[in-house]
Amino acid sequence: MTFSSREEAGQELGRHLAERGVQADIVLGLPRGGVVVAAEVARYLGRPLDVLVVRKIGHPRHREFAVGALAEPGVVLLDEEAMKHSHVDRAELDRVIAEEIARLQSYQARFHSAGPPDLAGKKVVIVDDGLATGLTAEAAAVSVREQNASFVTVAAPVASTSAMDRLSRVADEAIALIVDPDFMAVGQYYYTFPQTTDAQVLALLPAHV
């Protein structure tokens, strides 16, 4: 199964969640590509859309290799197993974390000009365009849990089996249309997978966000 675009993937995911009877008070997209998918999910579920800012923490010498993730307002999640096997130097990693915290704060100011949503007591659906390692989605779920959400669902059009295993331990439910044991990259499940811009994200959000 391949999606023509993030929009189509969001429509398929939204329809699936609605058919499953998933309950939500708010839908949170993970910037940037996840917000495009989340916008369609929010439309199908008839619920408000917002964002939860996350950042991957890359290995200091191989930045594409994730060894952790950040989520607003202050979650720092490190994959101890990945750090152990990749021989991360802690001083170098601390510099990467500081850089990513600065970027996260910049995105917070951009996407939450009126402040973040109040999640206390709410059923929250977290949406991304795909779950490779699941680290950023895990950080998002931890963040939502720490903000006293009553129920946490993580949903994506596609995920690796390892990501689903990871998320099943921190979310109340983890849902993906495709769970692929041979998962390589999120983009392989989309015919078109362009980079999403900040302007596109802002255009999808309510004016007050």
Helix or strand holding residue 121 (H, E):
none
55-111 CATH pick, 3.40.1190.20, 3.40.190.10, 3.30.1310.20, 3.90.870.10 = 3.30.1310.20
> 6-52+119-204 and 55-111 share one CATH topology?
no
Residue 208: predicted pLDDT: 41
Residue 207: predicted pLDDT: 59
Domain extents in the chain: 6-52+119-204, 55-111
Residue-by-residue pLDDT tens, the chain, 209 positions: 799 999 999 999 999 999 999 999 999 999 999 999 999 999 999 999 999 999 999 888 877 778 899 999 999 999 888 777 778 888 889 999 999 999 999 999 999 878 889 999 999 999 999 999 999 999 999 999 999 999 999 999 999 999 999 999 999 999 999 999 999 999 999 999 999 999 999 999 985 44
Beta carbons of 38 and 27 less than 8 angstroms apart: yes
Residue 60: predicted pLDDT: 83
Q: How far, in Å, are 45, 49, 103 from residue 11 at the CA level?
A: 10, 14, 30
pTM over 0.85: yes
Residue 41: predicted pLDDT: 98
In whole angstroms, give the CA distance from residue 77 to residue 81.
12
In whole angstroms, give the CA distance from residue 79 to residue 86.
11
DSSP 74-98: TEEEE-HHHHHHHT--HHHHHHHHH
CATH number of 6-52+119-204: 3.40.50.2020
Residue for token pair 């903000």: 147
Helix or strand holding residue 167 (H, E):
helix 161-168
In whole angstroms, give the CA distance from residue 49 to residue 209.
9
